[in-house]
Structure 1
Amino acid sequence: MSQPSDAKPKPEKPRLPPGQRLTQDFPVLDLGIQPPIDPKDWRLTVSGLVDNPIDWGWQDFQDQPHETFITDIHCVTTWSRYDNTWQGVSGKHFLSVVKPQAAAKHMVFHSHDGYTTNVPIEAFADDEVIIAHTWNGEPISRAHGGPIRPIIPKLYLWKSAKWVKHITFLDKDAPGFWEVRGYHNEADPWKEERYG
């Protein structure tokens, strides 16, 4: 069905979310611990409401199909960085491997530094989500959560947990470290969902 000739095109969403400033840097924010994780010792386990609870070592991860995504990232501390090139395993492929059950609605990421954060499965299933091992052509550094970290670019960066070691699939929400300390549960940068 064609639009009436006087219909105005829908405005595009701005690239820079409200309240953000653009930077060329990649600031480092964490809980004060940057755990050293050698890829040969790295493991990722999955439990909860999935049909295939995995236990991957580094080679298992490398054996998956890899993709490259270029995305912007947005931190709750008001910086944004454009055109980050990530390589790794797409969120969609990861979900196709672990096979969440129908009752599963949320994922909780558990990190080596004790950090946790919660994400709806539908947010992790987005087109640009990746479990990345490479940023801008280099392995993700320890300071930035290497050897792997999920990147969920349409949410504030605290939802893209560093040093992930375990993911739990649940039928209900389970707010994580920052969410129980006053951060917004959904974390949409374009709605400025910084604090609850």
Structure 2
Amino acid sequence: MKRQHEDLAGRVPPHQNVVTGWPVLHYGEVPVYRDVRKEWNFRIFGLIEEGEKVLSYDEFMALPRVVRTNDIHCVTGWSKLDNTWEGVPVTEVVKLVTVKPEAKAVMIHAEHGWTTNLLLDDFLREDNLFAIKHNGQDLTPEHGWPVRLVVPHLYFWKSAKWVRGIEFLPEDKPGFWERNGYHMRGDPWREQRYAWD
């Protein structure tokens, strides 16, 4: 019989501890919506031929959805395995616009001015989605309701909560945590936690 740590080989990056709960970590206040249908929308802008595209809450929620299961890894040292997400694939959202060839990165914009950056290749991976549900339940406000990005191959701070838009950029530039010392990419397998790693 295999021991638990042998079963997890290849699934848990170095210096991570598996948890069964889901810790709540974020900077600032949890957004409050009185009427999410009127107050929330989703912008796609930057290096796209259309200049800017804005989706209403109802338009975004009507986009095709998928269900995907993956593991997530927080820069603070915890990993949560076998998460099942329902949401809109990143690739479905990007189909709505024509991205200019000079785009090399994106900035994800979220509530309260929060941002995180991703290289375009990292952003467009098939596993990535804009999650609406986790393990069959709507996301809670503390975990990013109504929409959070899920980028499972990078540390979880790249999976921005409370997402409001995508900006296509000609080059990578730091978002909120990256300006405050976190690594520009955040690969958990390479332990890219901080700017000096």
Return the TM-score normalized by structure 1: 0.90
The aligned counterpart of 2:57 is 58
SS in 2 for 1:16: coil
Aligned residue identity for 2:85: W
Tell me if structure 2 keeps the 8 A contact 1:113–1:163.
no
Structure 2: how far apart are the matches of 1:31 and 1:155?
Answer: 19
Deviation string for 1:56-90 (max 9, x for gaps)? Answer: 11111122111111011110000000111111110
Which residue of 37, 41, 44 maps to 1:43?
41
Of 22, 25, 29, the residue aligned with 1:29 is 25
- Greater Cα radius of gyration, structure 1 or 2: 1
Question: Which whole-Å CA distance do the structure 1 matches of 2:43 and 2:143 have between them?
Answer: 20
Q: Structure 1: 5+ residue runs without aligned partners? A: 1-12
Q: Secondary structure at the match of 1:56?
A: strand
- The residue matched to 1:104 in structure 2 has which SS? coil
2:5 equivalent in structure 1: none
Match of residue 3 from structure 2: none
Q: Report Cα offsets for 1:82-125 as digits up to 9, x if no partner.
A: 11111111011122222311101111011112211100111111
Unpaired segments ≥5 residues, structure 2 = 1-8
- CA apart distance, 1:35: 0.8
CA RMSD of superposed structures (Å): 1.3
- The percentage of aligned residue pairs carrying the same residue is 40
> What is the CA-CA distance between 1:166 and the residue it aligns to?
2.4
**CA deviation vs aligned residue, 1:28-71 (integer Å, no higher than 9, x gap):** 11113101134312101111101343211111112211111101
| Separation in structure 2 between the aligned mates of residue 51 and residue 90 of structure 1, nearest angstrom | 21
The separation in 1 between residues aligned to 2:141 and 2:63, in whole angstroms, is: 22
* TM-score (normalizing by structure 2): 0.89
Equivalent residue for 2:122? 123
Q: Deviations over 1:142-167 (max 9, x none)?
A: 00011001100000011111111122
Q: How far apart in 2 are the matches of 1:117 and 1:124?
A: 11
Write the mapping of 1:1-196 to structure 2, written as runs, cut at 5 A: 14-37=10-33, 38-40=35-37, 41-52=39-50, 53-196=52-195
